[in-house]
Structure formats: structure tokens, C-alpha cells
Amino acid sequence: MPGSANLNIMMKAARKAGRSLVKDFREVENLQVSMKGAGDFVSRADLAAEEILKDELLSARPTYGWLAEEGGETHGKDPTRRWIVDPLDGTTNFLHGLPHWAVSIALEHKGQIVAGVVFDAAKDEMFYAEKGQGAWMNDNQRLRVSARSRLIESIFATGLPFGNRPDLPDILQDLGRLSPATAGVRRWGAAALDMAYVAAGRYEGYWERRLNVWDIAAGVIIVKEAGGFAEPLNPRGDLLQDGNVICANEPIFEQFAKVIRNN
Ligand code: IPD
Ligand code: CA
Ligand code: CA
């Protein structure tokens, strides 16, 4: 797909940050002997990737605002446009040497996400979309959500709470209702890729609570442009603000949402 200038800037930045992360990822295994060493190293890799992205994106578009996981928010001269960035989504996978993590970049214009890029650098898969232009992977592979329409033949992904987060009971109840009705539920550990995989038809749906805007901003437009639905878990909520997301292909969405929303 011939992308806009902004999309090309986003993909170039994602590739550059991705190269830096891949180099660091190869080092992580050598550091596993010292957990603290590995943890500090990954934090530095994460920060270095964010610096690369900031440098690339803001030197190309100096008037845009900036919101990123590590460095927070900076207002731009142009109050209508903002980059929303997660330099490394799937940090725990990265730390454990699991090749499932991504760089995520979205462009917001007047409160709407107008372009998104999710780059899985370890597998060299670039997922991207622009409003009204469809969703794509790598050079010219058009993305379409899957056509499966029966829950029992469908697989879903979610995120399980970790540490002492309070939302374990909710997700356990979700799983109790959903799992028996489906072909399975996966937990891969990178929200941005979960959404890209729904767009690519690799699984039928995904839901998760308590995410941040940088986890989902790029994924939402990729799912929608691939023909899928991405909505807030609470139908009256605001998807990007609440961070509780449910997305799926069109034929599955209603049935899936009914089970997850428990209505
Ligand atoms: C995390 C991942 C994970 C999700 C967490 C996120 P991070 O992002 O997307 O899949 O379950 O809630 O915080 O911390 O690796 O950027
Ligand atoms: Ca994240
Ligand atoms: Ca992150």
C-alpha cells in the first residue's frame, strides 16, 4: 500500500527502534544469570528504543505532541496531533528471552487515531493501517480479520493480571464462561500484537482490562481497518481512556461480547 508521509515516518522509526531492540534482545539471554542485571538491561533497552522513536518522530514532525510509556507527555505546538508510543510492548517476554514483543506507534488527530504501526522486530512483521486505507502487513499483504463465525471453532487471546493486581477474579470468571464455548484462549503477553493478530485473522478475538492508551492505540486502528470491531468492554465507556478492550471479527463479535460482558 502506498502510505502517507506520516505512515512512512512511523514505519522508518519503528524499524530503527526495532533494530536496536533486536540487538539488545540477543544480549538478554547472556544476562539471565543475574535477574537484576537482566532487569536493568531491559529497562535501558526500552528507554533507548523510546529515545530513538522520539528523535525520529519529533524531528520529522516537530510540532506534534508526544505521549509515551516511559517519558510521559509533552504538548506540541500543534494541539491537534500527537504521537502515542509504546517503545516495547511485551517487556516481560523480552526479559525472559521470548521472541514476542513489539514497537507500537499511533498518530492521533483531533482525538481520533488516524494511523497505527505495530512492529514485531524479532519476526520481522510490520502491521500498519491508516484511516480509510485498510490494514496491511509488510510490503503489500492486505490484512483481513478471520471469517470464522462459530465460537466453538474460534480462538481468543487475553491478558492475565500479574503481581497483586486486583482484577484476577474478573478474568477468572470470564474464562469460566468463555473457555468451554470456544476452541481455546491464549495469553501471549503483548497487547499490541494481540490486536494485530486479530486483524491478521490469526485468532478471532481478544479482550483485556486495565491497559494504557499506548498499549492499544495502534492496535485499534489496525483491527478496524482489517474489518474487525474494537470496542470498550463497557459499551458506554471510552475505549482509549478506560483501557478495557474487546475486539473480534464481525461474525463473532456479538456472541463473544455477550459472554465477556455477561449480558
Ligand atoms: C503489557 C503487555 C501485556 C499486558 C499488560 C501490558 P508492557 O505492556 O501489553 O500483554 O497484559 O497489561 O502492560 O508493560 O510490556 O509494555
Ligand atoms: Ca505495553
Ligand atoms: Ca512498554
On the question of pLDDT at 32 being above 80, the answer is: no
Bridge partners, residue 47, by sequence: none
Atom of ligand 1 nearest to the CA of 208: 11
Please give the distance, rounded to the nearest whole angstrom, from the Cα atom of residue 2 to the centre of ligand 1. Answer: 31
Please give the distance, rounded to the nearest whole angstrom, from the Cα atom of residue 49 to the centre of ligand 3. Answer: 10
Please give the distance, rounded to the nearest whole angstrom, from the Cα atom of residue 89 to the centre of ligand 2. Answer: 4
On the question of pLDDT at 76 being above 80, the answer is: yes
**How many other CB atoms are found less than 10 A from the CB of residue 96?**
14
Task: Give the relative orientation of helices 213-225 and 191-199 as an angle to the nearest 10 degrees.
Answer: 0
DSSP state of 80: T
The segment(s) of the chain belonging to CATH 3.40.190.80 are 151-261
What is the pLDDT confidence band of residue 219, given thresholds at 50, 70 and 90? very high
Ligand 1 pocket, residue 191 CB under 6 Å: yes
Grid coordinates given for 90: 511485551
SS3 track for 164-202: CCCCHHHHHHHHHHHHHHCCEEECCCCHHHHHHHHHCCC
Cα 54 to Cα 81: distance, rounded to the nearest angstrom: 15
Domain 151-261 belongs in CATH node 2.40.50.140: no
Grid coordinates given for 214: 499506548
Length of the chain: 263
CATH architecture of the domain formed by 5-142: 2-Layer Sandwich (3.30)
What backbone torsions phi and psi does residue 166 show, to the nearest 5 degrees?
-85, 0
What is the pLDDT confidence band of residue 28, given thresholds at 50, 70 and 90? confident
Q: What mean pLDDT is predicted for residues 143-151?
A: 97
CA 81 to chain centre: 20
Bridge partners, residue 186, by sequence: 157
On the question of pLDDT at 35 being above 70, the answer is: no
Instruction: Please state the pTM of the whole predicted model.
Output: 0.96
Q: What mean pLDDT is predicted for residues 180-185?
A: 96
Q: What mean pLDDT is predicted for residues 137-143?
A: 95
Average pLDDT of the residues of the chain:
94
Ligand 1 pocket, residue 91 CB under 6 Å: yes
User: What residues have CB less than 8 Å from 197, skipping those under 6 apart?
Assistant: 157, 188, 203, 206
